[in-house]
């Protein structure tokens, strides 16, 4: 296993982070524990979850992912050698989570306490805002359209002050963002420096061969400001694995099972680009999964690649992507496709 430094901290996290959003819906508690056990044997020390998980969100599965991780933590012990990340829900139609879905002080306190209770731990290493409160471009929107009717008022300072309170109480160690823009990230950094408040150490955004929008602005922020990129969906809901093109998929696979909700990658340009990436992988004698994950693993702004799996076979292949030598020739071939079919799945 390789390790990298989280943001501007002295914390070392594994280059592969275990994503867990299938726990409680596609994976049972027993399967979740099996994945967690195996990940540790491979040197993974970084686990990512969220209060909303599993995904797609359902009232009856809300919080199950954290709960399954919590029962595993209690069974395993040795909490301090792990880096656990979780997130607070932003505004969305998931009213079973809390009556008030925002980042106001009371919401932050209640959300964090709920996560701590389900995880059966006294603290969370990395606490993240799952998506912005304001109307901006995330979750499938590449271009920005200004919304003058947006009721949001800049509350970043209050958020940071509340997170400072929770940090001082020992409930969180570091803070991060998710599905955020360059403006939002820099605004948080500016306020933290000005008011001597906790600094953002990471941004967890989608990043894969079909969505390289992180490179447009946030990659420079990551490099110059020491803000770690934590990519999610590196296999684009499994599309980049090649199984859908090869017709080896099953009804249980993610895109098939949740086709009405997982539409980000369900378009002709994404399928065409994927078919070309599959051919590149085969030309170089590796699997499409290996090519896709190795591309993400080797980007200099990427600190830890958040992989997810529903089977042990998938998990083993994902982790083994660190052994792939991603060559300049592979990068050129990938970039040639990207130049023709750029970011088809924002």
- Report CA dihedral (216, 222, 227, 231) to the nearest 10 degrees: 60
Nearest Cα neighbor of 187 from 149, 160, 148, 152 is: 160
> Is the link from the previous residue into 54 a cis peptide, with omega within 30 of 0?
yes
302 - beta bridge partners? 229
Instruction: Write down the residue that tokens 């088809």 correspond to.
Output: 344
Catalytic residue among 53, 123, 127, 232: 53
In angstroms, the CA 142 to CA 135 distance is 13
Active site residue 53: yes
How many whole angstroms separate alpha carbon 324 and alpha carbon 345?
A: 25
Neighbouring CB atoms inside 10 A of 76's CB total 14
- Show the tokens assigned to 217: 């602005």
With a CB cutoff of 8 Å and minimum separation 6, the contacts of 196 are none
Tally Cβ neighbours within 10 Å of residue 88: 26
Cite the active site residues: 53
């Amino acid at each position: 296993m390789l390790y990298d430094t989280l943001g501007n901290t002295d914390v070392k996290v594994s280059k592969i982070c275990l994503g867990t959003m299938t726990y409680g819906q596609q994976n049972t508690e027993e399967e979740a524990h099996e994945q967690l056990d195996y990940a540790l044997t491979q040197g993974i020390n970084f686990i990512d979850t969220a209060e909303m998980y599993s995904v797609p969100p359902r009232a009856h599965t809300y919080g199950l992912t954290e709960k399954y991780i919590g029962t595993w933590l209690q069974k395993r012990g040795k909490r301090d050698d792990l880096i656990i990340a979780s997130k607070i829900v932003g505004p969305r139609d998931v009213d079973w989570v809390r009556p008030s879905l925002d980042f106001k002080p009371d919401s932050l306190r209640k959300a964090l306490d709920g996560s701590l209770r389900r995880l059966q731990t006294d603290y969370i290493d990395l606490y993240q805002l799952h998506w912005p409160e304001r109307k901006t471009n995330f979750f499938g929107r590449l271009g920005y359209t200004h919304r003058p009717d947006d009721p949001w008022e800049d509350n970043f300072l209050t958020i940071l002050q509340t997170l400072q309170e929770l940090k001082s109480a020992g409930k969180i160690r570091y803070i991060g963002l998710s599905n955020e823009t360059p403006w939002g990230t820099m605004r948080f950094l500016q306020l933290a420096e000005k008011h001597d408040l906790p600094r953002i150490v990471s941004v967890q955004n989608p990043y894969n061969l079909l969505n390289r929008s992180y490179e447009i602005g946030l990659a420079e922020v990551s490099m110059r400001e020491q803000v770690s990129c934590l990519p999610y969906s590196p296999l684009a809901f499994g599309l980049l694995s090649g199984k859908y093109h090869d017709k080896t998929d099953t009804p249980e696979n993610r895109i098939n099972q949740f086709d009405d909700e997982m539409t980000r990658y369900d378009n002709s340009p994404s399928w065409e680009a994927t078919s070309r990436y599959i051919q590149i992988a085969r030309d170089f004698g590796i699997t499409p999964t290996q090519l896709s994950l190795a591309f993400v693993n080797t980007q200099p702004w990427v600190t830890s690649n958040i992989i997810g799996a529903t089977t042990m076979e998938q998990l083993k292949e994902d982790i083994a992507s660190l052994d792939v030598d991603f060559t300049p020739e592979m990068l050129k071939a990938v970039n040639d496709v990207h130049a023709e079919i750029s970011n088809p799945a924002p």
